[in-house]
Amino acid sequence: MSPYRERYHRKLDDLVDQTRDLANQASSAIGKSVAALSESNVDLAKEVIKNDQSVDDQSQRIEDLCMELLALQQPMAKDLRRVIGILKIAIDLERISDLAVDVARVTAQSKDKIQITKLEYIPKMAEVDRKMLAQTMEALANGDADLARQVTKWDYEIDGLYVKARDKILKIIIERPEVINEGTSLLMVNRHLERIGDHICNICEAIVYMVEGRREHLN
C-alpha cells in the first residue's frame, strides 16, 4: 500500500515533533527551576520565567495545527485520536511548565532569604518528573501504550518523595517558626512537583487512548 495525502500525514508527524519540543521545554523548565532553588540562582530562575512565553507560543502553535487538521483534513480513527490526544497533552505540558515557572518565582522573589535546609527530596522529585516526561515522549513518538502505562508507576515514587519532603519541611517549620514563609514556599514547590507527576499521568492516559482507543484511568 502506498500512502496518499502525504502533506496531511506529514503534518500529523509534525504534530508529534512539536509536542516533543514543548515537552523538552517543560522538562528544561522543571530542571532549571529546581536547580535555581537548590543553588539560590536568581538568574537561572529568571531565565525559566522568561522562557515561559516561548512555551506558551509553542502550545499555541500546536493548538493551531490541531485546529487546522480538524478543519481542513477531517482526520478519522487513529488520526482523529492523535489530534484530540495531542490537544489534551499540550494543555498538560503547558500546565507543567506553569508549575515550573511558579517554582522559579520562589527563588526569584526570595533572593535575600536564607536556605532553611539543604534540599534533598525536591531535586529527586524533579529528576523523576523529568525521567517520566522523557519516557512519556518516547511512548508518544513510538505509539507505545505499554511504556505509557509503565511510566505512570513512577508516580508512586513521586508521591513517596512528596510525603518525605512535606514531613521534613513541616518539622523545620514547627522547630523554627521564624522560617514559616520560606517553609510555606517550599511546601508549595513540593506540591507543584507532585502535581507535575499527575499531569504526566494524564499525558500517559492520552497516549493510551491515542494508540489503543481505550480510555484508562492510570494511577
Partner 1 sequence: MVTSKIVSKNLSLWYGEKQALKNISLEIPEKKITALIGPSGCGKSTFIRCLNRMNDLVDKIRIEGEVFYDNNNIYEKNVDVVELRKRIGMVFQKPNPFPMSIYDNVAYGPRIHGMKNVDKIVERSLKDAALWEEVSDRLDHPALGLSGGQQQRLCIARTLAMRPDVILFDEPCSALDPISTGKIESLMETLKDNYTQVIVTHNMQQAARVSSFTAFFLLGELIEVGETKRIFEMPQMKSTEDYITGRFG
The reply to whether 195 sits near partner 1 by the rule CB under 8 A is no
> Residue 118 or 215: which CB sits closer to partner 1?
215
Q: Which of 5, 10, 153, 176 binds partner 1 (CB under 8 A)?
A: 5
As a whole number of angstroms, the distance between CA 100 and CA 115 comes to 19
213 near partner 1, judged by CB under 8 A: yes
Any contact of residue 2 with partner 1 (CB under 8 A)?
Answer: yes
When binding is defined by CB under 8 A, the residue of 46, 61, 78, 131 that contacts partner 1 is: 78
Closer residue to partner 1 in complex, CB, 157/212? 212
Contacts 24+ apart (CB under 8 A), 180-189: 181/113, 182/110, 182/113, 182/114, 182/116, 183/116, 185/106, 185/110, 186/106, 186/116, 186/117, 186/122, 188/102, 188/106, 189/34, 189/37, 189/102, 189/103, 189/106, 189/122
Q: Is residue 181 near partner 1 by the rule CB under 8 A?
A: no
Which of 35, 42, 70, 80 touches partner 1 (CB under 8 A)?
Answer: 80
How many residues touch partner 1 under the rule CB under 8 A: the total is 16
The DSSP line for 62-78 is: HHHHHHHHHHHH---HH
Give DSSP secondary structure letters for 163-194.
Answer: HHHHHHHHHHHHH-GGGHHHHHHHHHHHHHHH
Please, what is the minimum distance in Å from the beta carbon of residue 81 to partner 1?
7
Q: Which of these ranges, 36-44, 70-78, 133-141, 188-196, lies near partner 1 under the rule CB under 8 A?
A: 70-78
Stretch near partner 1 under the rule CB under 8 A, chosen from 73-81, 89-97, 102-110, 123-131: 73-81
Q: Is the dihedral of CA 135, 99, 36, 48 positive or negative?
A: positive
Residue 111 binds partner 1, judged by CB under 8 A: no
Which residues are near partner 1 by CB under 8 A?
1-5, 8-9, 74-81, 213
